[in-house]
Amino acid sequence: MASPAKHSIIPQTNEAQIKACSLLFYKAVRDLKPVWMLEDMRTMETFYQEDDASQRTYSPSEALLYAIVHDHQAYARHLLNRNADEALAKPGERFCCCPSSAPHLAMAVRYDRRYILGLILREAHRIPGSVGSRGSGAGGCFHMEDGKTPLHLACELLRPEAVVMLLGNGASPRAKDHDGRTPLDIILQRLGDSKAGNHGGNTRQCLDNMLMFMPEINFKMKSALGEKPEFWAKLLGEDTFNYLAGKSSAPLVLLAMQTIMKQLSPARFSDSLHALPIPLSLKPTGLPRSQHETLKV
């Protein structure tokens, strides 16, 4: 079947036709159609009728958001491999009106697309300053409209795998949202929330993963722990409570793991983590999959 010709622009395209074409592209991504077909559809100049030619097609950034939502791993990989800068660029206002500077990372975390999240993080290392630095309090330039970083979101949604991947790739655990909360604050709030009882396992995994990347503890809720010591000691365990409350130093096992995590290269974090010659029980829980695994099709 011949691919659609890019120059076959429909004269005087009406709004109904534009919506129909847009829906066709959306459904094609949802149905995991072949990459070549999606790229032909994406670059057809029939989706929009603006005079600006650049507004007549879906940008790679917009297409990547669709690929994330529908977990089209092959298409996401194609878009990122072809031109990561364009694929990770901020979408136009016609497509996404929020002021987020990290829509792709946030979307991958929200929909729990771990493989695509790994692809994005891998490519983001080639964009200077895009992921953040473990030693930086800024947390990179990837923030959402309320000041939250994708790491805040991963903690809020109790995604221990995403927490490991983001931290291992350089996201700052000290970044603060507009309310001054760090990702650790978000985890502790979820842990202390009685409604989160059914998710206690994931919450604890997020906490344990976070602490491996936080040699310096500084968070908003520290004073709250001292106000209800019995409650938090029972919830966290004596050792973790004393450490977070500043009453004791970190346990030796945690200190050792913090040192090891510092040595792993962010650019190859997932593979390096899997290759560590230490017991699996000592590694961060919810290990991310290796990026060398076979794609789902």
Predicted model pTM:
0.82
Structure tokens at 226: 């001292």
pLDDT at 275: 86
Compute the mean pLDDT over every residue in the chain, rounded to the nearest whole number: 80
Cβ-contact 75, 35 below 8 angstroms:
yes
pLDDT tier for residue 7 given thresholds of 50, 70 and 90: very low
User: SS3 sequence, 155-178?
Assistant: HHCCCHHHHHHHHHCCCCCCCCCC
pLDDT exceeds cutoff 50 at 297: no
pLDDT tier for residue 221 given thresholds of 50, 70 and 90: very high
pLDDT at 188: 95
Residue 240, Cβ neighbours under 10 Å: how many?
A: 20
pLDDT at 227: 92
Give domain limits for the chain. Answer: 12-96
Higher pLDDT, 173 or 23: 173
Section 97-116 average pLDDT = 82
pLDDT exceeds cutoff 90 at 219: yes
pLDDT exceeds cutoff 90 at 15: no
Residue whose structure tokens are 């760090």: 182
pLDDT at 278: 82
pLDDT tier for residue 27 given thresholds of 50, 70 and 90: very high
Among 177, 185, 88, residue whose Cα is nearest residue 137: 177
pLDDT tier for residue 272 given thresholds of 50, 70 and 90: confident
Count the helix, strand and coil residues of the chain and give each as a percent rounded to the nearest 5. Answer: 55, 0, 45
pLDDT at 17: 60
Lowest average pLDDT, out of 9-18, 113-122, 197-206, 235-244, goes to: 9-18
pLDDT exceeds cutoff 70 at 295: no
Section 131-157 average pLDDT = 65
Burial 6-18 (b: 16+ CB within 10 A, else e): eeeeeeebeeeeb
pLDDT at 267: 80
pLDDT at 287: 62
pLDDT at 276: 86
Sequence-distant (6+) residues with CB within 8 A of 184 are: 155, 173, 207, 210, 214, 217, 219, 221
Cβ-contact 105, 142 below 8 angstroms:
yes
Rounded Cα distance, 185 and 92, in Å: 33
Among 35, 36, 25, residue whose Cα is nearest residue 75: 35
Section 263-274 average pLDDT = 85
pLDDT at 102: 65
- DSSP characters over 249-277: PPPHHHHHHHHHHHHS-GGGHHHHHHH-S
CA distances to 38, 46, 195, 213 from 241, rounded to whole Å, are 52, 60, 21, 17
Q: Which amino acid is at 203?
A: T
Section 177-192 average pLDDT = 94
pLDDT tier for residue 79 given thresholds of 50, 70 and 90: very high
Structure tokens at 42: 């994406």
Section 204-215 average pLDDT = 93
pLDDT at 1: 44
